[in-house]
Amino acid sequence: MHALLCFSASHLRHITPTPGIYDQLVYHHKHCALSLMQKELSSLHSNCDGMKDWIIATSSFLACETLSEFTSSSARHPNIEWIHLMRGTKAVLTPMWSHRETSIFSAEWDYKSPEIHSSSNNNNAVNKLNLTDVRAHLPSTYTSHVTHLANLLDPLFPERRYSAPPLEHREMEGGFEGDVRQRVRDFLVWTVTLPDTFISRVEELDPGVLKLLAWCYAGMRELWFVDRDIWWIENIAQQGVRDVMRFLREDGSIEGVH
């Protein structure tokens, strides 16, 4: 409940022109939600006897609220605070995964967007988005994630070829015709399922991982321009790509990979 109230207060802060009026409520409910979740997590073990859906919901609400607060402020590496919380959802799920069929979220985990190309061998989107060098640069544990991200992005970027994620939104003829909110969900699930080394590679400024992150932000930006009711990704839409690209070459190439 505290996570939901935190998210609601964050929305009210977003739509209210008076600065500071909801800050205390956001902070209070976030602190309470985190404290209760950490207490519950300490009791989880590898053979958990059932699903605890409220922990999953709490983690997801807090991640989305943190995403809504996104700012490009660190001089050391891109802002990935929200990813820490999204990745925390994976840590929460792992000991409960054998009971996933009893979860109220089970349909979401099993759902596959029908308009997304599902082949792990589809190279067309990978080539178009100039991700071939990323796939070669990163360990094999990232290969399927690179391809899946390219498939998610493909209909959002209709041009024939990109050297790097566009720094700004570009209107496309005909517009995106898929389910916007489901596609946002797919981007978040993609983040949760990334290899465990992803965060450390971002902090080390690994160019391959940074390029994936920049493309992920670019995709979320395009979705926000289609449906601005998804208010909590507005800051990512406005700042995310540039926040990452300041650590990469302008042409998106990866040093040492040809």
Do both 106 and 128 map to the same domain?
no
Do both 163 and 221 map to the same domain?
yes
Residues of the chain with pLDDT > 90, as a percent, come to 40
Highest mean pLDDT among 8-17, 47-56, 68-77: 8-17
Is residue 96 over pLDDT 80?
A: no
Do both 132 and 99 map to the same domain?
no
Determine the Cα–Cα distance for residues 89 and 79; give it in Å rounded to an integer. Answer: 18
Determine the Cα–Cα distance for residues 66 and 70; give it in Å rounded to an integer. Answer: 7
DSSP class of 205:
T
Determine the Cα–Cα distance for residues 121 and 26; give it in Å rounded to an integer. Answer: 44
Do both 221 and 130 map to the same domain?
yes
Do both 41 and 147 map to the same domain?
no
What are 207-219's pLDDT values in tens digits? Answer: 999 999 999 999 9
Do both 240 and 144 map to the same domain?
yes
130: left (phi over 0), alpha (psi -120 to 50) or beta: left
What pTM value is reported for the model? Answer: 0.84
* Alpha-carbon distance values, 252 to 7, 56, 100, 210, 216 (Å): 35, 35, 39, 10, 14
Measured N-to-C along each axis, helices 180-192 and 207-226 cross at an angle, to the nearest 10 degrees, of 160
Do both 241 and 132 map to the same domain?
yes
Do both 94 and 155 map to the same domain?
no
Would you state the pLDDT for residue 202? 93
* Alpha-carbon distance values, 119 to 125, 130, 144, 148 (Å): 11, 18, 9, 8
Q: Judge contact between 252 and 211, C-beta under 8 A.
A: yes
Distance of CA 196 to the CA centre of its chain: 14
Dig out the tokens for 230 from the structure: 């998804």
Is the alpha carbon torsion for 250, 201, 147, 80 positive or negative? negative
More confident residue, 158 or 133: 133
Q: Judge contact between 164 and 211, C-beta under 8 A.
A: yes
Q: Which of 58, 85, 110 is the last residue of a domain?
A: 110
Residue for token pair 């290899």: 195
Would you state the pLDDT for residue 256? 44
What are 178-205's pLDDT values in tens digits? Answer: 888 888 888 988 988 899 899 999 999 9
Do both 75 and 103 map to the same domain?
yes
User: Residue 7 is part of which domain span?
Assistant: 2-110
Measured at the CA of 252, the angle between CA 246 and CA 254, to 5 degrees, comes to 105
Would you state the pLDDT for residue 142? 96
Is residue 149 over pLDDT 80?
A: yes
Determine the Cα–Cα distance for residues 249 and 49; give it in Å rounded to an integer. Answer: 49
Within 10 A of 101 (CB to CB), how many other CB atoms are there? Answer: 9
Dig out the tokens for 47 from the structure: 């053979």
pLDDT band at 139 (very low <50, low <70, confident <90, very high): very high
Domain count, the chain: 2
Do both 142 and 185 map to the same domain?
yes
**115 falls within a domain:** no
Is residue 9 over pLDDT 50?
A: yes
Determine the Cα–Cα distance for residues 159 and 108; give it in Å rounded to an integer. Answer: 31
